[in-house]
Structure 1
Amino acid sequence: MKRLMKYMKVCAGLLLMAGTSACNHDDFLTVDYYDIIDGDMMFTSIENAESGLIGCYDMFYPNSDYCGDWGLKPQIMLGDHPTLDTQATAWDRNYCIQAWTADDNDISNGWNHAYHAISRCNTFIKGLKEADFEESDKVMMMAEARAIRAWFYMFLTQSWGRVPMLDEEDTYATAPNKPRAENEAAMWDFIIADLQYAADNLTWAPRNNEAGRVTKGMATAYLAEAYMWKAYKHSADYATYDTFATPDESVETSSYLIAEELLKSIIDSGQYELNPSFTTLWDPGAVWTKEALWEVVYQRYDNGGAWGGQFNYDCKLLNFYCACPDLGGWGTLYLSWEWWMSYEDGDRRRDASGITAPVTDLIQEKGEVGHIRQLSDGTYVSTHPYLQQDITHSTYKRDAEGEKAPAIWSLKWWRTTRADWGQHYISPLQIYYKRYANVLLDYAECRFRNHGADDATGWEYIAQIRDRAFGNREVGRKAELTAIYLPYYQEQFNNYYTDRPAPTEYPIPFQEEAVTVPDARTYYTQVKNETGMNSPVWLVALTMERRKEFNAEFCLKFDLQRSGVFEDYINHVYPKNVGYPDSDPAALNDYHYYRSWDHNNRRLLFPIPNNEILKNDAISTEDQNAGY
């Protein structure tokens, strides 16, 4: 399969880059050449119009005008940090304690980036409508552009609630004084119309066989999610803290039924499946697998280990920001001990997702955990499961200039490279926005909401996720998976990391014998009782499976928010005043996150950026979101 390949720029919606290229499925994104064409020329030919469409796709990648490390900020802060399963220090810590403010640069950068993308789409959509092309040619491009526009509107509405809605007659430059939508119902209807058009007109396979284009599967999955958001926004629960909400049980019920039908159509299509191994999902051996409905693949260069150009520099930054500080990284992305301890014995997702410091108390209590090993002098180190770098820090938390951060680091982003600044910048990355696992868990949620807590089908789809998590889908496929995913690590050791021998087996051994997976309903009944959560068992199960499956993937906060479980989850998984505050030296040796603040559901919507209020005459300070 080929893959869509250009990195383009649009200046004020008028200049677009021409030219498209494709390469083999196994290659990462490459940058070819830049040809600027005037906006008036964009629709003089199908070829030029296709190039204009690439300018819309471009907005899924980092853009120095609106936050150069867009893959990390603000999505990790808006989509994960409020859950406390991912954490940060310094100014980013505000996203863990509901202390974000309307003048935060990352909030305004995310807002501006999304509207810049929408403006590009609007310019393209308007021009395409007026173009003298065959209708069949226009429909496919229109469907892709409208799906992209809907994606960015979903990011805005999930994060900020009511926002200005610009259609193809507007851009951010031509309509600077657009008021916020009167209510969220109209906003979600706008998004649904875009996604419905895309789902109706696109095919399951990407156009031109270029992976990276919007497909029917992508559009349908987001359409289902949009209906689930519409249902939640019409719920009585949401109306308790949003004065603009209009509870309507009939809309809530019908929306979940539509979402169920849409998600089932994806499952029945046969186009998607879970990867046999969760541990390999972020490896460069295979991209755009059958699990991926929507992802962004960051390119990799082999030219002497060097990177060239801003685009590649941003990719390097993602690894540097997320990697363990003990190994040269910035360490801005930590995982919590509460998250780490939520896994059952035998669940392989933990080792694939994070690495801990070699905590002495934990070793004494549970023996070797994660990838901890004892050295000849009796001390312990934690070994990176993929590149085998050692971490010697030995307490539950590390001191970051007075702040205490959990000594656990996500492996989803920096597993494929060392983080040392100034060293080899080989940084292939896969950032998933919608996986088949999302579809299965969303479908299970709809089944429970539509058919009751005892619905066998809902529990069946949770069981499918758990079966993969415990490694049963790897059984009998060791040779196949090794052939796909081991060569990258051998190449890295042989060419760049010669201080250790290249591995001869995949770093985390594949499961070779089937195991019995604990029954989800039984297990999560126990979890509900232990945590004291008030939510029904099925919602506890979905919440816990989502946090194990999607940590650091930008969707967890939105999933917990939309399912109405957020307050219950925070209050019971991260209870207030348990553990030690940062000012107490005992905090280093205690695993608990110390929550001193009260959770406020009103702050699940972020504040409208002050910059927007200042420059948009139709939005006043009195129109700010509740809670600010």
Structure 2
Amino acid sequence: MKNHFKIYISFLILFGLTSCSKLLEEVPKSQVNKDQFYQNEAQCIAGLNGCYDNLTDIFTHNLFKINEGSSDLAFWALDDADASFAISPANPGVGDIIWTAAYHGVMVCNATIVGINKSPVAEGRKKSLVAEAVTLRALYYYVLTSMFGDVPFYTKEVANFDDLEEITKLGRMPASDTRNYLIKDLAEYAPALPQIKTSLIVGNRVSASLAYILIAKMAMWEKKYDVALPALQKIMGIYGSLQSYKLVDILFRNKNIEESILEVQFAWSATGIRKTTLVAAITTPPRTANTSIYDGVEILELGDKANPSTSITPSDHLIDIFNKYPNDIREKIVMARDYNDKWFNRPSRDNFEGKPWMGPKFWAIQMDNKLDGNNQKVFRYADALLMAAECYNEIGNEAEALRYINMTKIRANIPILEVYPGKQSFFEELMDERGRELMGEYGRKWDLVRWGIFYDSINNTIATENEKIKANLRPYHEFYPIPDEEVFRSKGVLTNDAYKQ
């Protein structure tokens, strides 16, 4: 069934992969097959499986390098359009990949919602199945609005050429309108989802906590802290005390940990399933050929077949925020100066002041060439707690703001904030704490944009370390341009006004 959705013909037309004549030949067959489906719960679940497929096209090294490796926390010293902010509508970099994958995900979710609603499945069960697709659709739109800002928004099924024509005429809908719609949609359906940890759901499918954290994320974009907090409290009721979750578990190699709200599922096997990403390849120290020696240190568990690319480099800013608390146990997880008490060559240079590598949080055990099958961690419980701290700071509840930020500090073995330092000082500490706790989990750039500090933050951190970034960076880079191909396909309805500056 997953393959059935992958060849859904309207998607092929929407993204220019086949001709109109081919559409007219294949739509009838495609529609007949679809209409004969969704006859029982098993078929509905098979349809839902297709809603997950595009997550592994989005949460990969491509998004990692722009959200984390081109943020205030790290940079990638390569002549790469994304890494050096040389993107444009004509050269959209990974924006083209994300746009296509996310809208494919939206299209599959829309079709699945229609199919399940038409199915003879019992109404009580039907809502929980629809809720799964509704939440995944919201996730795809969360990605789109966070990355591109205002984007076309639709919830109808693209079932024929007329539907396709209608969709291609949609212009940019204000991101705030999209988010407000999705917040209401999720609030309606979240109670129908399993109210348990994601790790307890077979296959790590959508839990209510994913719906609630998406409500909170989008509400915080809109500065609706009173909307975000009840959703975050729902998550807290499910996950309990942060101290019950071990920090060592956050390594990407540790799959489907108890603290995770969303992990995107990857796998690598020499003889079996291969759904891989290259995140480990761009975060691992270089290896000496035919050995298990990585920048001068033997790491047997990484093996002798890995072929790391040029690694993303921690910024001076990331180093500084860890230096603030020397006993922070997250530092050796996120960055690596040594391993098993032996220093890597690069960090040991310049009187042991050389740059550290990205840390074991991102490395893959026995990586084969550049491929790793680590799950990608996108949302964790610690994120929700730090979001709550931010919300309470914004509404002036000093005691609760302190309480929630201190939860991650206690687990990391660093001093808590005993006295509220004022709203702005607290916010600055919160930004640093989110960097220490969540670095690499696909949200840093979007946080900077949401906070309204993207340009200044990048200009004052990695742009001071990389001349190409300094030369290319512009305020409009907070959002990616819609690729020129999509603008052309829309006959000019879609525009990139910011990039005309």
State TM-score, norm by structure 2.
0.80
Q: Which amino acid aligns with 2:391?
A: C
Structure 1 residues 171 and 411 mapped into 2: Cα distance closer, same or farther (>3 Å)?
farther
Equivalent residues of 1:111, 1:156 under 8 A apart:
yes
Structure 2 spans left out of the alignment, 5+ residues: 11-31, 288-293, 295-306
CA distance in 2, matches of 1:394, 1:597: 30
Q: What is the Cα deviation at residue 430 of structure 1?
A: 2.7
Q: Determine the structure 2 residue equivalent to 1:181.
A: 172
Q: Determine the structure 1 residue equivalent to 2:87.
A: 100
CA distance in 1, matches of 2:86, 2:237: 44
Structure 1 residues 333 and 596 mapped into 2: Cα distance closer, same or farther (>3 Å)?
closer
In the alignment, structure 1 residue 445 sits paired with structure 2 residue 390: yes
Structure 1 spans left out of the alignment, 5+ residues: 1-5, 16-36, 63-69, 232-254, 357-368, 374-380, 383-390, 397-404, 471-516, 526-534, 583-593
Please report the RMSD computed on the Cα atoms of aligned residues, expressed in angstroms: 3.4
| Equivalent position to 2:331, from 326, 329, 350 | 350
Q: Determine the structure 2 residue equivalent to 1:278.
A: 247
Structure 1 residues 136 and 625 mapped into 2: Cα distance closer, same or farther (>3 Å)?
farther
Q: What is the Cα deviation at residue 139 of structure 1?
A: 0.5
SS at match of 1:536: helix
Q: What is the Cα deviation at residue 205 of structure 1?
A: 2.6
Q: Which amino acid aligns with 1:144?
A: E
In the alignment, structure 1 residue 607 sits paired with structure 2 residue 490: no
Q: Which amino acid aligns with 2:100?
A: N
CA distance in 2, matches of 1:395, 1:336: 17
Equivalent residues of 1:81, 1:95 under 8 A apart:
no
Structure 1 residues 100 and 142 mapped into 2: Cα distance closer, same or farther (>3 Å)?
same
Equivalent residues of 1:395, 1:407 under 8 A apart:
no
1:50-199 alignment, distance < 5 Å: 50-62=45-57, 70-92=58-80, 94-102=81-89, 103-170=91-158, 174-175=164-165, 177-199=168-190
1:410-429 alignment, distance < 5 Å: 410-414=359-363, 416-419=364-367, 421=369, 427-429=372-374
Q: Which amino acid aligns with 1:38?
A: N
Q: Which amino acid aligns with 1:569?
A: S
| Equivalent position to 1:460, from 403, 410, 418 | 403
In the alignment, structure 1 residue 256 sits paired with structure 2 residue 225: yes
1:305-316 alignment, distance < 5 Å: 306-308=270-272, 311-312=274-275, 314-315=276-277
CA distance in 1, matches of 2:236, 2:49: 29
Q: Determine the structure 2 residue equivalent to 1:408.
A: 357
CA distance in 1, matches of 2:310, 2:4: 31
Moved over 6 A (4+): 521-525
SS at match of 2:144: helix
Residue by residue over 1:282-311, the C-alpha shift from the partner in whole angstroms, topping out at 9 and shown as x without a partner, is: 265x6433311111232353xxxx2445x3
Provide the aligned length of Structure 1 versus Structure 2. 454
Residue by residue over 1:456-481, the C-alpha shift from the partner in whole angstroms, topping out at 9 and shown as x without a partner, is: 111111111011112xxxxxxxxxxx
CA distance in 2, matches of 1:406, 1:100: 27
Equivalent residues of 2:172, 2:494 under 8 A apart:
no
Q: Determine the structure 2 residue equivalent to 1:334.
A: 313
Q: Which amino acid aligns with 1:100?
A: I
SS at match of 2:43: helix
Q: What is the Cα deviation at residue 421 of structure 1?
A: 2.5
Equivalent residues of 2:74, 2:312 under 8 A apart:
yes
CA distance in 2, matches of 1:395, 1:469: 28
Equivalent residues of 1:275, 1:291 under 8 A apart:
no
Q: Which amino acid aligns with 2:280?
A: N
Q: What is the Cα deviation at residue 412 of structure 1?
A: 2.0
Q: What is the Cα deviation at residue 116 of structure 1?
A: 0.6
SS at match of 2:48: helix
Q: Which has the higher helix share?
A: 2
CA distance in 1, matches of 2:369, 2:473: 38
Equivalent residues of 1:204, 1:215 under 8 A apart:
yes
Residue by residue over 1:359-406, the C-alpha shift from the partner in whole angstroms, topping out at 9 and shown as x without a partner, is: xxxxxxxxxx77653xxxxxxx42xxxxxxxx567547xxxxxxxx95
State TM-score, norm by structure 1.
0.65
Q: Determine the structure 1 residue equivalent to 2:43.
A: 48
Q: Which amino acid aligns with 2:72?
A: L
Q: Determine the structure 1 residue equivalent to 2:13.
A: none
SS at match of 2:375: strand
Identity between Structure 1 and Structure 2 (%): 21
Q: Determine the structure 2 residue equivalent to 1:323.
A: 284
CA distance in 2, matches of 1:119, 1:336: 38
Which one scores higher on RCO, CA 8 angstroms, separation ≥ 6?
2
Q: What is the Cα deviation at residue 521 of structure 1?
A: 6.5
Q: What is the Cα deviation at residue 52 of structure 1?
A: 0.7
1:499-578 alignment, distance < 5 Å: 517-520=414-417, 536-570=424-458, 572-573=460-461
1:610-625 alignment, distance < 5 Å: 610-621=484-495, 623-625=496-498
Q: Determine the structure 1 residue equivalent to 2:259.
A: 291
Residue by residue over 1:131-165, the C-alpha shift from the partner in whole angstroms, topping out at 9 and shown as x without a partner, is: 23321121011000000000000000001011111
Greater gyration radius: 1
Equivalent residues of 2:335, 2:356 under 8 A apart:
no
Q: Determine the structure 1 residue equivalent to 2:24.
A: none
Q: What is the Cα deviation at residue 166 of structure 1?
A: 1.9
CA distance in 2, matches of 1:110, 1:104: 10
